[in-house]
Every structure is written in structure tokens, then in C-alpha cells.
Structure 1
Amino acid sequence: MEALRLGWDGGVPKLRAAGAMARQGLVTTVSSRAGTAVVAGWVGSVRERVAGARGLLDDWGRPQTAPRLPTGDYAAVLVCRDRILLMRDEQARIPLFFRESGGRVTAVSTSARHLGDGAELERRYFCRYLTGNMAQPHSELTPFAGVHRILGGEVVELSITGQMRGRVPRHVRQTHDPSVRAADEPGLGGAAKDLRLALENAVGRRMGRMTACHVSGGTDSTSVALLAARLLAAGQGQTGDLVLLAGRFKRGELAAEQPYLDEAMAEIHRHAPAARPVILDADDVADFDDFQHHAGDPDEPHAHAFRAPFWSRLHAAAADLGCDTLLTGCGADPMVDANPFHLHRLARTGQLRQMTRQARDWAAGSERGLWDIVSAYVVQPALPLAAERVTALVRRRGTVLGGLGNFARPRWLRSGFARAHGYREAGIAESRFVFGRKPEQSLYEAANYLAAPDPLSWRRARQDGFFLSHPFLDPEVVATMRRLPAEAVFHPGRPKVVLREAMADLLPPRIGGRVVKVPFNQLYVRGLRTHGDELIDLCRSASHPLIAEMFDVETLCRAVREAQFGIGDSYSWDRVNSSLALVVWLERLDQRSRVRRAAMPVIAGS
């Protein structure tokens, strides 16, 4: 989807913003003596989009300045008097790409497909994509040769005529939010207070004119909705501008979530009586519904496209009510729970006795074996590719999915294609990103890209009029959790203890005390049972030449059949899901309309 575009006409930069998205407030254009900025998304806060965009231009428009990037969910292009700047926030929710040739950028857009129309496909990208479902947002590669991704937190500087001057990578500019302070007290109380403050700030930044909150009855989404209700009650919003959005299941295992949902809704209403509940019956929704649309239409292959039908239904309801932002509880599991890779730190620093003691506590609290804990959080991060190969040999036993983890080559990816286009190198790069030299720190960055289904939000933004936003992935929340000592956040048998303590005065006891939530496996199983044969037929009838070059189609079909029968686990099913999404994406590549939406011209610097 093209929200903004930068091109050159006779050597003069021409900056344009999509008119429909500008009218919806999704794209903001500001000008000053320093130049012109077009911002997709928001800087600073949702309510102050214009002020945030103007502040970004004022801070970065001065010659020879490079301040730290502000908080927000945005991609921005600044055409200043002496230079052009392309940038994204650290969380990388809004995409931004540029087409480059011979050291000169010839076009910039939020749509890789618009820049890559007619370009050769970049086969190395598909190897990187197939190593795991975190590969897309943190790789410079795109599906199109010559089209590059600006990474999260990166600033690209161009001359006024488009010559590349420099790229400042993410890790250089990543700093903790100055509002994050050290805990006033060393124990859980101080950690909980800090998290509560950071989470309140994160929710407040994301509240708009009419805010929707996804409420599932779990600790995470209920916490976000309660904080939003409290902020409105304190006068930081207008009466009645809070929507409580939920999917209701009357049948199957997900029906067990209904009592928790009812209690969450009742408690939120107690704080915000004017909040409007919108509860949608979702018994007829299954994963892979209308899969060709959800997987085939995005700019890039979307590994989580199988889950899009459920989210799309919620999005449509919020859009019908005129909501301008939708808050979720995504990201809480990795961000505010105890960090299990702390065990890796203990092992590599020689504290083996303490590591063993804490691993035993972890095993007892999670009802897992001691070796399972040590293998997952100490051995595998140290030797990820070797650990996967050993696991595959032990567990395969004649199946396609047995033992298939995050990085090992799936058997349906042809070995010749993998060797020719760098699959092993892609696997190494992905494993280093996921674990790094310090897995307890890499967890936060990797989780940021895995936790939220944002490609769907971006693709639907024009029709919905809003983006999803995730307070638990806010830089201030992440910075707060990064610095907390392990003893402050780990209590055996009580996950997310800091969050529960932080929200103790708001969460209903039934929700605050629950430790298990019913997963969405029901939607996946139903989807494969309903659409499995259709998916297999789709693979066998696919005609794009790259599919046969890349995949052994019959082996992929066998993997789909095994997933239907319940063989494998969530890791191997993710590999099947991403491969199916790629097949559909390639099949639809040449069928999509290349007619661009009307764009609204804006003043450009020169």
C-alpha cells in the first residue's frame, strides 16, 4: 500500500502523500522554513499527529543535526533544503522502502511492490523469509531486486538529488526513554510501580479521538483496556470514545474464555460507563478462510496470513464505528514475563550452580522437565543450528514435520535452491538475530517483530482508517523490563508477576490470578480441516515458475496433510504456514492490479 512516495522530476524532488489516507489522519504533511515532511503513522502521540510531525521536521531539519528518534509508530520522509532524510521508528510498524541504482536513490515509497513492478525477484529474500516468521521486518532485502528496506530505527541520508550519503543503523540510535527511571526500591514493589507508569504512558500516547481496545479476558488485553478507561475517566478523552472489541465463541474449547471476557467487560465498564462493548460472534471463523485474498494481496509474503480472518472481522467492526486507533495486548508474553534466557547468562558467566537451581525452579513452575528447560534456554541459544539438526534426527521418524524448528531447512525447500541462494547463511543470520551473543537481550528485539500481526493492519489501514498499536511493545515499556533484575520478575508458577502486581488495584481477582489461557488452536485445526484439501490443490496447480524452482510441491502437500492430522508442533506449523503464504503470494503477483490510488501532491523541498 502506497501512503507516500518520493520521486525526482528533472533532478527536483517531488514528495506526495495519498489523499485518502491524509484525510483520515493516517498520513500527515507539514512544512516550514526547514523543508517539508510527510509522516505515515504518528510521532509522539496519536492525538498530536500534526505537532509530532512538525517537531520531527524542526529537530531533524536543521543542518548537521542528528537527534535521537522520537517515540511513535511512523515512517517519514523529510525533504530539507540541503538533504533528504528517510526514517522509521525503532519498532518498525510502518514500512518504508527505496529503489537504488548506482549509489543513487530513484524513488521512495511505503510500498515495495510499487517500487518493484517489473523488477527481477530477489531469490535471497525468499531464503531469508523461509528461515522463520521473524525474517521480514529486520532484513534489508525485499522480494524485488534493487528495492531495499529501511530498517527499524534507521536513518538514511540522501543529497537533494538522491545520491546516497549514509545510513545510520538501528543499534546506534537505540536508547532508553529518559522518562524511565531506576526503581525506587529493589523488590517487586519498585519494579511494579515502574512498569505501571511506563504502561500508562504507552497507553496514553496511543489513545485517539475514538479508541478501540481488543479485550479477550486475558491479563494483557484487560490491563490495556482498564488503563485506557482510567485515562478517560481522568479527563484525558471525551465521554463515550472508548470501544471494547471482542470475539465471542459459544462452542469448542474457546467457549471457556467467555466468563473471563464477561468479567473483564464488567470491570472496564465500572471505570468507563460510557464505553461501548462490541462483541462479535466468531464461531464461524476459521484460519485460512479466504486465504488467497489475505496471503496474496499484501506487498510482501505475510507469514501470519492464516490468522487474518479473525483479526479482519474485529478490524471491520472498529472501522464501522469510526475508531482511529485500536489497542491490543500483543507483546506482553515476551516483554513483561520473566526472561528465561537469564539462565543462559548464568551459564556463560560460570554461575552453573545458581543456573541449575533456577532451572529447577523454572521447571517446577512451568511443569516441564529440567532438561527441557536447560536445552531450550541454555543449549539451543549457544548452538542453535546444531541443536536443530540433532532434534530433527531424533524426532523425524519418517515424517516431514518431525523435529522441524525455526532455522533448519524444511524438506520441501529444494536443497539446490537453498545452496544457490544462501539459505544456510540466512539461517545463521536469523539465529544470531533471535539469540545473539546475549540471548536475554536479543529476546526483546526478536519478540518485537514476532508478537504483533502488523502486516495485516498496514494492508487494511486505508479501508479501516486506523493502525493497530501495541502498548506492551512501547520503547518505554521495553526499556523498563530490560533493566529489571531477574529476581524481580521470576516467581515460580506465577507468570507475569510484575504485571499482576502493577495492575493489582484494577484487575478483577479472577483475571489477575489466572495463569493459563486457552490458545487459538481451535481456529487453526478447524481451518486445516476445512481448507486443507483446497490448500493442497492450490499448491499442485500453482503455475509461477519460482514455486517449482523453490519447492518440492508434493513434499509440501505432505506437510500440510501431516499438520491436518496433528503431527508436528507450533514451530513446524509456522514453517508450513509461511510456505503456503509464499505460494499464494507468488501466484497472485502478476494478477494484482497495478493501478495506483490517486495521490495528493504536497509542497516539496528543492
Structure 2
Amino acid sequence: MDALRLEWVGGAPKLWTDETMERQGLVTTVTSRVGVAAVVGWVGSTRDRVACARRLLDDFGRRGAALPLPAGDYAAVLACRDRILVMRDEQARIPLFLRESGGRVSAVGTSARALGSVTELEPRYFCRYLTGNMAQQHTDLTPFAGVHRVLGGEMVELSVTGRMRSRLLGRGRQAPDPPVSAADGPHARRTAAQDLRLALEHAVGRRMGAKTACHVSGGTDSTSVALLAADLPAAGRADPGDLVLLAGRFSGGELAGEQPYLHAALEEIRRHAPAARPVLVDADDVADFDDFQHHAGDTDEPHAHAFRAPFWARLHAAAAELGCETLLTGCGADPIVDANPFHLHRLARTGRLRQMAGQAHAWAAGSDRGSRDIVQAYVVQPALPLAAERITALVRGGTALGGLGTFNRPRWLRSGFARAHGYREASIAESRFVYGRKPEQSLYDAANYLAAPDPLSWHRARQDGFFLTHPFLDPEVVATMRRLPVDVAFDPGRPKSVLREAMADLLPARIRGRAVKTPFNELYVRGLRTHGDELIDLCRTARHPLIPEMFDVETLCQAVREAQLGIGDSYACDRVNSSLALVMWLERLDQCSGAVRPAVPVIAGS
């Protein structure tokens, strides 16, 4: 979807924005003495989009300004009198791309497809995409040759003629390494809870519009966000606005067990905001892979989580009917506000093996896993990720999904294609991103791309009139949790203990005390049973020439059959889902237009 486009016409930069998205407030254009700025999404606050966009232009338009990028969900182009700045926020929810050759940029836009050519694809991208379900979003490569991604938190400076001057990846708000231990347990935890509560209040307040929808599932995370959205206006700490409480309703199966928690959450939220409107969307007939042709085939890039799009699309449609300006979720809380398990890796690499063994035992006692599994996952695997996966593949081999972890080459990806286009190099690069030299720090960077992959929100934004947004992934919240020592954040048997403490005055007891939430496995199983034969037929009848060059189709079909039978773990199924999405995306590549939507021209300084 092309929300904005910058091109050079007659040697001068010209900027266009989507007319419909301008009217909806999803694109904001401002001018000043410095130049002109087009912002997709919001900077600083959803309520003050124009003022914040103007502040962004004035602050960054000054020559020599070295400021950290402000918080928000945005992609922005600033056309100043003597240069052009292209930037994205650290969360990177809004896409932005450059078409570049020989150090000169010829176009900038929010659609890679619109900037590229369907006949000139980049095979290295597909290898990187297949190494994991978040790899595509934090790398420069796109599916189209010559089209490059502006990374999250990056600012690109161009001359007024399009010559590339610099690409700077900003990390201005990252917290320093956390201290090794806390001063005193109870007091430190109370202080940490107060800090997290304040950061979450700021994150939620920034995202609230005139009409805000909150996804409520009955879990601790989404309920916390919705309660803050209800409590902040009630306490006079945010502008009041319409609040919609959006939830999926399941009357049967495993997910029906979540309904009592959902009703408890809604009752408590409405106690703080009586005017809040609960909207329960019947979802009994929803299954993963419904309308897979549309959800996986029409997106700008392959969408690894397209299989789950039918459920979210139904909720989005309900929010759109009510005219919501933004939709808040609880996504990201699991990796961000829980204790950081890779602290065990730090203990091991600094020689504190006895302490590591004791904490691994405590970690295991507070979960349903053994100490050996804990050490394998958080000490051994991060140390030698590819070697650990190869050993696992040998032990669990025998089927298409056996031993297939996060980085191993799927057996259906042809070895010749993988060698020719750098799959091994891609898997090494991805493992370094996920674990890094200090996995306890890399966790937070990886969580941003793993916890809330929502291309669906972007793909539907023009028709829905809002973006999905995630307060738990706000840079202020992440920085707060990064500062905490592990003995403050970790409480055996009580996950996300700091969050529970932070929300103790708002969360109902029934939700505050729960430790386990029903996963959405039932939708996945139902989807494969319903659509498995269609997916296999899709693979066997695919006509795009890259598909048989890339995949051993029969091995991929075998993997789908095994997933139907429940063979393989979640990592293996993720690899199947990603591969199926790629097949569908390639099949529909020629059918989806990348043409610019009706646009408003914006005169840029030359």
C-alpha cells in the first residue's frame, strides 16, 4: 500500500500522499520555514498528530541536529531546503523503502512492490525470509532487486538530488546494562513496579485517540492495557474519548474456557469507564488459513503470520465499523515484562556456574520444564545456535519436520538454491541477531519483531482507518525492563511478577492470579484439517517458476501432512507456515497492482 511516494521529476523532488489516508488522519502533512514533512502514522501522540509532525520537522530539519528519534508508530519523509531525511521509529510498524542504484535514490515509498519490478526478484531475500518468521523485517533486503528497507530506528539523509549521504541507526533511548543484583528484594520490586506502571501509562496515553479500541482476551496483558485506557481518563490524566472493548467470543472448544476471564476483565474495565462499549465478535467459525489466498497473496511482502490473519481480520472489521482511530493490544508482554531467562547465559559465560545451576533449577521449578531443558534453551542454544540445531536435527530426524528448529534449512528448501543464494550466511546472521554476543540484551531487540508481527494491520489500514499498536513494545517500557536485575523481575511460579505488582490496584483477582492462558492451537489444528488439502494442492499446482527452483514441492506437501497429524513442534510449524505464505505470495505476484492510489501532490523545496 502506497501511503506516500517521493520521486524526482525533472531533477526536483516531488512528494505525493494518499488522499484517503490523509482524510482519515493516517497520513499527516505539515509545512514550515524548514520545508515539508509527510508522516504516516503518528509521532509522540495520536491526538496531536499535526503538532507532533511539525515538531519533528522543525527539530530534525535543522542542520547538525543529533536527536534520538521520538516515540511513535511512524514512517516519515522530511523534504528540507538543502536535504531530504527519511526515517522510521524503533518499533518499525509502518514500512518504508528506498529504490537505490549506484548511491543515488530514485524513489521512496511505503510499498516495496510499487517501487520494484515483479520480474526482477532478489533470491537472497527469500533465503533470509525462510530463516525465521521475523527475519525479513529487520534486514535491508526486500523481495525486489534494487529496493531496500529503511530499518527501524534508522534515519537516512539524501541530497536534494537523491544522492545518498548517510544512514544512521539511532539507539538513543536504550538503557545501560542492568545491575547484577538488587539492593533489597521487596523494596526493589515495589520501585520496579512503580516505574513500569508509569512507563505503561505513558505508552497507553500516547496511543489513545478520540475513539480507541482495546483488544481484550481475559489475559493479564491485554486486560492491563485496557484498564489503563479506562483509568487514565477517569483519573483526569488523559483526555476522555470513546473506548471500545473488542474481544473474540468462543462458545465451544478449549478457548471457551477463556470466557469467564474475559467477562471478569470487561466487568472491571467498565467499572472504571462505564461508558466503554464491549463488542464481542463471534469467532466459533473462524479457522487459521481461511481465505489464505487473500491474506497471504495480496500483501506487499510475504506475510509469515498470514495463517492467523482471519481471526484478527474479523476483529479489525468490527473496530472499523465503529470508526475507531487506533487499536491497542497486549502483544509483546511475554518477552518484555517477564523475567529475562538469558540472564542464565550471562552467569555461565562469566564463570558463575554454581549460581547458574541454582537459578536454572529455580526457573524449572516455576515452570513445567526440567533444569536440563532450561539450560539447553538459554545457555547452550544461544552459545552455538547452528551447532545445537544440527545436533537436535540428528536426534529428532526421520520426518520432514523432525529436528527443524529456528535456523536449520527446511528439508523442502533445495540445497542448490540455498547454497547459491546464501542460506547458511543468512541463518548465521539471523542467529546473531536473535542471540548476539549478549543474548540477555538481544532478547529485547528480537522481541519487537517476534511478538507483534502485524503486516495485516498495515495492509488493511486504508479500509479500516486505523493502525494496530502495542504499548508493551514502547521504547520507554522496554528501557524500564532492561534496567531491572533478574532477581527483581523473576518470581518462581509467578510469571510477569513486576507487571502484576504494577497493576495490583486495577487487575481483578481472578486475572491477577492466573499463570497460564489457553493458546490458539485449536484454530491452527482446525485450519489445517479444513484447508490442508487445499494448501497441498496450492503447492502442487503453483506456476511461478521460482517455486520449483526453490522448493522440493513434495517434501513441502509431506510437511503439511505431518503438521496436520500434529508432528513437529511450534518452530517446525512456523517454517511450514512461512513457506506456504511465500508460495501463495509468489503465485499472486503478477495479479496484485502496485499502482499509486489517488494522491495529493505536496510541493517539496528544490
TM, length-normalised to structure 2: 0.97
User: Over residues 396-416 of structure 1, what are the superposed CA-to-partner deviations in whole Å (9 max), with x where a residue is unaligned?
Assistant: 1x2110111000000000000
Counterpart secondary structure, 2:583? helix
| C-alpha distance 439-239 of structure 1, shift in aligned 2 (>3 A) | closer
Find the counterpart in structure 1 of residue 290 from structure 2. 289
Find the counterpart in structure 2 of residue 605 from structure 1. 605
User: Over residues 468-525 of structure 1, what are the superposed CA-to-partner deviations in whole Å (9 max), with x where a residue is unaligned?
Assistant: 0100000000000001000001011110000000000100000000000000000000
User: Over residues 374-393 of structure 1, what are the superposed CA-to-partner deviations in whole Å (9 max), with x where a residue is unaligned?
Assistant: 00000000000000000011
Counterpart secondary structure, 2:588? helix
Equivalent residues of 2:299, 2:459 under 8 A apart: yes
Find the counterpart in structure 1 of residue 84 from structure 2. 84
1:108-257 correspondence runs (5 A): 108-171=108-171, 173-176=172-175, 187-235=188-236, 241-257=242-258
Report the Cα offset of residue 126 of structure 1: 0.2
Distance between the aligned counterparts of 2:520 and 2:238, measured in 1?
33
1:340-379 correspondence runs (5 A): 340-379=341-380
Q: How many residues align?
A: 600
Find the counterpart in structure 1 of residue 477 from structure 2. 477
Equivalent residues of 1:73, 1:94 under 8 A apart: yes
Report the Cα offset of residue 236 of structure 1: 5.2
Counterpart secondary structure, 1:313? helix
Distance between the aligned counterparts of 2:239 and 2:153, measured in 1?
33
Residue identity (%): 78
Find the counterpart in structure 2 of residue 45 from structure 1. 45
Distance between the aligned counterparts of 2:325 and 2:139, measured in 1?
30
Counterpart secondary structure, 2:210? coil
Equivalent residues of 1:240, 1:275 under 8 A apart: no
Equivalent residues of 2:209, 2:241 under 8 A apart: no
Matched, 1:300 2:301: yes
1:323-342 correspondence runs (5 A): 323-342=324-343
Distance between the aligned counterparts of 1:25 and 1:122, measured in 2?
34
Report the Cα offset of residue 595 of structure 1: 3.8
Equivalent residues of 1:240, 1:276 under 8 A apart: no
Find the counterpart in structure 2 of residue 279 from structure 1. 280
Distance between the aligned counterparts of 1:10 and 1:66, measured in 2?
32
Find the counterpart in structure 2 of residue 104 from structure 1. 104
Name the aligned partner's letter for residue 345 of structure 1.
Answer: R
Distance between the aligned counterparts of 1:497 and 1:238, measured in 2?
30
Name the aligned partner's letter for residue 268 of structure 2.
Answer: E
Distance between the aligned counterparts of 1:560 and 1:130, measured in 2?
16
Report the Cα offset of residue 429 of structure 1: 0.3
Equivalent residues of 2:389, 2:403 under 8 A apart: yes
Matched, 1:529 2:516: no
Larger mean CA deviation between 588-597 and 87-96 belongs to 588-597
Counterpart secondary structure, 2:318? helix
Report the Cα offset of residue 66 of structure 1: 2.4
Name the aligned partner's letter for residue 76 of structure 1.
Answer: A
Distance between the aligned counterparts of 1:9 and 1:260, measured in 2?
57
Distance between the aligned counterparts of 1:174 and 1:155, measured in 2?
15
| C-alpha distance 170-385 of structure 1, shift in aligned 2 (>3 A) | farther
Report the Cα offset of residue 596 of structure 1: 2.8
Report the Cα offset of residue 454 of structure 1: 1.7
Report the Cα offset of residue 136 of structure 1: 1.3
Report the Cα offset of residue 119 of structure 1: 5.0
Counterpart secondary structure, 2:86? strand
Report the Cα offset of residue 108 of structure 1: 0.3
Equivalent residues of 1:104, 1:163 under 8 A apart: yes
Report the Cα offset of residue 592 of structure 1: 1.3
Find the counterpart in structure 2 of residue 584 from structure 1. 584
Distance between the aligned counterparts of 1:196 and 1:526, measured in 2?
38
Matched, 1:262 2:274: no
Larger mean CA deviation between 452-461 and 537-546 belongs to 452-461
Counterpart secondary structure, 1:137? helix
Name the aligned partner's letter for residue 195 of structure 1.
Answer: L
Distance between the aligned counterparts of 2:542 and 2:170, measured in 1?
38
Equivalent residues of 1:239, 1:274 under 8 A apart: no
Distance between the aligned counterparts of 1:462 and 1:29, measured in 2?
17
| C-alpha distance 118-561 of structure 1, shift in aligned 2 (>3 A) | closer
Equivalent residues of 2:210, 2:241 under 8 A apart: no
Distance between the aligned counterparts of 2:200 and 2:37, measured in 1?
29
1:453-492 correspondence runs (5 A): 453-492=453-492
Structure 1 unaligned regions, length at least 5: 178-182
Find the counterpart in structure 2 of residue 388 from structure 1. 389
Distance between the aligned counterparts of 2:368 and 2:67, measured in 1?
48
Structure 2 unaligned regions, length at least 5: 177-181
Distance between the aligned counterparts of 1:55 and 1:176, measured in 2?
25
Name the aligned partner's letter for residue 81 of structure 2.
Answer: R
Equivalent residues of 2:287, 2:310 under 8 A apart: yes
Report the Cα offset of residue 604 of structure 1: 1.2
Find the counterpart in structure 2 of residue 180 from structure 1. none
Counterpart secondary structure, 2:137? coil
Report the Cα offset of residue 558 of structure 1: 0.2
Find the counterpart in structure 2 of residue 314 from structure 1. 315
Name the aligned partner's letter for residue 553 of structure 1.
Answer: V
Find the counterpart in structure 2 of residue 31 from structure 1. 31
TM, length-normalised to structure 1: 0.97
Distance between the aligned counterparts of 2:482 and 2:368, measured in 1?
26
Equivalent residues of 1:184, 1:190 under 8 A apart: no
Report the Cα offset of residue 14 of structure 1: 0.1
Counterpart secondary structure, 2:140? coil
User: Over residues 332-372 of structure 1, what are the superposed CA-to-partner deviations in whole Å (9 max), with x where a residue is unaligned?
Assistant: 00000011000000000111110000000001111211110
Report the Cα offset of residue 63 of structure 1: 1.7
Report the Cα offset of residue 169 of structure 1: 2.1
Distance between the aligned counterparts of 1:305 and 1:532, measured in 2?
15
User: Over residues 251-298 of structure 1, what are the superposed CA-to-partner deviations in whole Å (9 max), with x where a residue is unaligned?
Assistant: 100000000000000000000000000001100000000001000001
Distance between the aligned counterparts of 2:444 and 2:533, measured in 1?
38
Find the counterpart in structure 2 of residue 566 from structure 1. 566
Larger mean CA deviation between 282-291 and 115-124 belongs to 115-124
Report the Cα offset of residue 591 of structure 1: 1.2
In angstroms, what is the RMSD of aligned CA positions?
Answer: 1.4
Distance between the aligned counterparts of 2:432 and 2:239, measured in 1?
46
Name the aligned partner's letter for residue 95 of structure 2.
Answer: P
Matched, 1:520 2:491: no
Larger mean CA deviation between 361-370 and 595-604 belongs to 595-604
Report the Cα offset of residue 176 of structure 1: 4.7
Name the aligned partner's letter for residue 258 of structure 2.
Answer: E
Moved >6 Å (runs of 4+): none
User: Over residues 31-62 of structure 1, what are the superposed CA-to-partner deviations in whole Å (9 max), with x where a residue is unaligned?
Assistant: 01100000001000100100110010000111
Distance between the aligned counterparts of 2:263 and 2:349, measured in 1?
46
Equivalent residues of 2:173, 2:475 under 8 A apart: no
